[in-house]
Each structure stands twice: as C-alpha cells, then as structure tokens.
Amino acid sequence: MNASGPGVWSLPRLRRADRAPRVLVLAKKSALRAHLEGQDAERHDRVEELLRENDQTVARMRGAHEEHEATLDEVQAALRALRCDAQMVNAAALDEFKEVDPRGHDLVVTVGGDGTLLAASHGIAETPILAINSAPSFSVGFFCGARLGEVHERLEKALDGGEPVTRLMRMQVTKNDLLLTRRVLNEVLVCCASPAATSRYILLHGEQIEEQKSSGLWVGPPAGSTAAQRSAGGRVLPLASEKLQFVVREPYIPSGGTLRLARGLVRKGESLVVRVKMGDGRLFVDGPHEVYSVTTGDVLRFSASLEPLNLVGVVRRKGWRAPLAAGGT
C-alpha cells in the first residue's frame, strides 16, 4: 500500500498459518428489516397496509429483503468455513458505520450496495474493502466486487491474495480552511437547503471567476464521474485520472448570456474554490447521510485527497482501466 496514486495492485495473502484473517463486516439492514424494527408506529401501520395490498410503491421491498437476508447467511457461512476472525456490525442508519474503527482488521467487507460502501468508506483510511451487492436483482452495485451466490468464492480468493485492488482517488473538502473530510469517493453537492430555492455562489477555477445561480454544484473525483456528474452533463473520467470534475446543475443563464464555468476539470495540486452566497446552504457528501451547513461568506475548497480508497475485486467497468500501480505488490 505504499503507492499513493490511482492504479491497480495485488492484495497480499491474508490467510496465514500463524493466525486467522481479521475481517470487519459492515452490513446494512434491509429497508423491510429497518421498517419492522422502527419506532414510528404510524408509518409502520401504513407500510404494513401497503404490503398486504401488494401496492406497487413497496413491491420491491420484500424481494430485496429476501435477497439481502440470503446474502447475510452466505457471508456468515463463508466466514466460518474460511476460519476468519470476524466482527459483524449491522446498522439501519448508514452513518453509524463512521463510528466503527477498522484498525486491526486485514479486510473490510460491506454487505448492501453502493450506498453501504460509500457510507462505510468515510471511516476507512487504508484497509482494503470488498463490497458485496446483497440484492443484485434490485441494486446496480457499481463498486461491488462480489454478489449473492459468489460470496465464498470471491472472499476466499481475496483472502488468498488472488483479487486485484483498485486504488481510487478521493477528494478533500475544507470550509474556511477547516478540514471537513478527506474521504469523498463519489461527489459533493453544494446547494440551498430547499431544493426549490436557487443556489447562489461564486466559483473560482484557476484564473477564472464567475458568479452563478443554479440548482447546485456537483464536485467529485473520477470514481463518481459515472453517477450524478454524468447525469448532469459531465464526462466519465478514466480510473487512472488524477483530476476532479465540477458540473453545474441546471444553471440559470440570462437571455443572451453565457456561462463560462458550466463544467470543468481540476488538476492534481490545484483547487476549486466556492464562495457561498446562500444564507441556508448545504454540502452533501456522497449522498444524503453526511451533511454540512454553509452560509453566506463561507469559502469551500475542493482538492485531491492524499487518502485513496483501496477497493477489492473491481477493475472491469466501462472507463475503468488503469496500469499496475507503481510500488504495488
């Protein structure tokens, strides 16, 4: 793990004669499980009614739950068969994973989907992560290196050093020179607290400066370029890219006017600066679970992080190609 840039390296053998591999499993609770264990009686009764009626709004809930539970059983069976020293954490609220300390473990395994992996990654510095798509009939699992039906095979291969590890660049964010996070994998959304309100800010990129009004601003590293950035008109960046991308969401352009900084790339060593003009703004990190408040006058700075994420078993994705990382083993 001595190389800091993006690339692909080989996971060392974790199963040894002298000790069992130490594995930390972070598993989300299915939406149905979280609902059944919830404290909101009124909502519980309503969902129960919809389930009895086979309503379309909850049609996927039961199927996804059954696949997820089957995957959890498969994970536990594989850990026993492979004689792992395993710790399992189950959580309904994904932000709970940030409180788990992965130090002392050889491998982190997430059980859920991309959202579970993203939430868990905020608490992970260097420990390799194998993400398992627990409901593949209902989830894309772009970051997942295993899925229901192949858990034992992929986990055994990972523990024996047979799985590639993709080193993904992450992004660092500061507010008024104070560090908020250095572990953004997908993207950050800067916008007004109300989705119906106009987001107002001043964007500084290199020597260019532009005051903008829009529905918000996406900023993220290459791994997130296939998601919201692409949907908003951005480009898919190659895995080996060391650039950040920003994309303005639904910009307001006056009649006859132009927008010079509708989208762009930020090179490694450079920063994108956003000066906030919203009294009630928000900064969403990798989805809705990690949120920071921002207000008029705040200065946000986005740059490449020195803490990449080591993702196990995911190398064959469209646009995801990289040479063997220098210093990889």
List pLDDT tens digits, range 98-115.
Answer: 788 898 999 999 999 999
pTM for this model (two decimals): 0.88
Per residue in 2-27, pLDDT tens? Answer: 444 567 777 888 888 888 999 999 99
Per residue in 245-272, pLDDT tens? Answer: 999 999 999 888 889 999 999 999 999 9
- Asked if the model's pLDDT at residue 320 lies above 60, the reply is no
DSSP, collapsed to helix, strand or coil, labels residue 42 as helix
For residue 209, what are the CA distances in angstroms to 42, 203, 212, 237, 272? 50, 6, 10, 24, 10
Q: Are residues 13 and 162 in the same domain?
A: yes
* Whole-number average pLDDT of the chain: 89
The number of distinct structural domains making up the chain is 2
- CATH assignment at residue 278: 2.60.200.30
Q: Are residues 185 and 286 in the same domain?
A: yes
- Asked if the model's pLDDT at residue 322 lies above 50, the reply is no
Q: Are residues 239 and 211 in the same domain?
A: yes
- Residue 313 located in a structural domain: no
- CATH assignment at residue 78: 3.40.50.10330
- Asked if the model's pLDDT at residue 325 lies above 90, the reply is no
Q: Are residues 45 and 138 in the same domain?
A: yes
Q: Are residues 251 and 163 in the same domain?
A: no
Would you say 222 and 241 are in contact if contact means Cβ atoms under 8 Å apart? Answer: yes
Q: Are residues 154 and 176 in the same domain?
A: no
The DSSP result for 60-99, as a single string, is HHHHHHHHHHHHHHHHHHHHHHTT-EEEEEEESSGGGGGG
Per residue in 183-210, pLDDT tens? Answer: 999 999 999 999 999 999 999 999 999 9
Query: Could you tell me the pLDDT band of residue 317, with boundaries at 50, 70 and 90?
Result: low
Give me the pLDDT at residue 175, please.
98
**Last residue of some domain: 134, 168, 202?**
168
- Residue 2 located in a structural domain: no
Give me the pLDDT at residue 129, please.
96
**Last residue of some domain: 140, 168, 196?**
168
- Residue 52 located in a structural domain: yes
- Read off the pLDDT of each residue in 288-299 and give the average, rounded to a whole number: 95
Residue 195, domain extent: 171-304
- Residue 318 located in a structural domain: no
DSSP, collapsed to helix, strand or coil, labels residue 269 as coil
Per residue in 139-163, pLDDT tens? Answer: 888 899 999 999 999 999 999 998 9
- Asked if the model's pLDDT at residue 1 lies above 50, the reply is no
The three state secondary structure string of 114-160 is HHHHHHHHCCCCCCCEEEEECCCCCCCCCCCCEECCCHHHHHHHHHC
